[in-house]
Each structure stands twice: as C-alpha cells, then as structure tokens.
Amino acid sequence: MPAPAKSRMGLSFLTGMIGAYVFAVIFVKIGRTVGLDTVFSATNADYIMNVLAGFFTGFLTMYITGINRLRILLYVFGSLIVMDSIAYFSTPMPIADMIDRMLTDMAFLVAGFVSYKLLPSANTKDN
C-alpha cells in the first residue's frame, strides 16, 4: 500500500531542504577522502562534488514525491535560493562558498526537472 500523498510530499520537501545542505558537505568530504583533490585542483574537485550532490538530491526529491512534483521542486529550489541569499548578505560568507551553493542549487534544479520529465507519476491515495 503506497504512502499517503501528503506524507510523501512532506518527506520529499524535507529531503530536498536537508539534503541540499547535508549531502553537499558529505560528497565533498568523500571526494577529498577518495583523492579527487589530487587528480583535479581542490576547487574543481569541490565543484564536481557539489554538482553531484545537487544531482543526487534533486533526483531523490523527485523520486520520493508521488504527486505535485513540479510544485515541490520549485518550492524547494526557491526556498534554497532565498536562504542562501539571506546567508550571503547577512553573514561574512565568502563568495567562493556562495558559488558552491549556487552550483548545488542549479544541479538540484536540473536533476529535479529531468527526473520530473523521466520518472512516471506515482499513483498515490490520500488517506
């Protein structure tokens, strides 16, 4: 029996919001542990890992959501942009960190939109 639609929508929103901040840090640490910063420059390795984290988070968010996927995707993306802008303008956040965040956010949007187009819509019942 599939999960209720509202609980899946809430879970996907939570995955998108938390994943956009947590997965990026985890992926960068994994990339440094594997040694990507020796293959590429440290900055490029961080960029690659941030983009992969955005792709992973975007796909996971769209995979969990059964209905209203585009609305959830745009709502999470808009919330991320607003929160990153507030963090940048209200704290002494370096521009390099803001670029990393924007890479993650844009990869999240691209992967979410591609997943929205490719994944079949789930048939969920609202209990």
pLDDT of residue 1: 54
Distance of alpha carbon 48 from alpha carbon 27, whole angstroms = 9
Res. 119: pLDDT tops 90: no
Cα of first residue to Cα of last residue in the chain, in angstroms, is 11
Give the residue, 32 or 67, on which the prediction is more confident.
32
Distance of alpha carbon 64 from alpha carbon 41, whole angstroms = 35
Predicted confidence band of residue 89 (pLDDT cuts 50, 70, 90): very high
> What are the residue ranges of helices labelled H in the chain?
5-34, 36-39, 42-64, 69-90, 95-118
Res. 123: pLDDT tops 60: no
Domain ranges of the chain: 5-116
Percent of the chain with pLDDT over 70: 91
Distance of alpha carbon 68 from alpha carbon 126, whole angstroms = 13
Distance of alpha carbon 63 from alpha carbon 16, whole angstroms = 11
- Structural tokens at position 14: 């939570």
pLDDT one-digit tens code per residue, 29-61: 998 899 888 888 878 888 999 999 999 999 988
pTM for the model stands at: 0.82
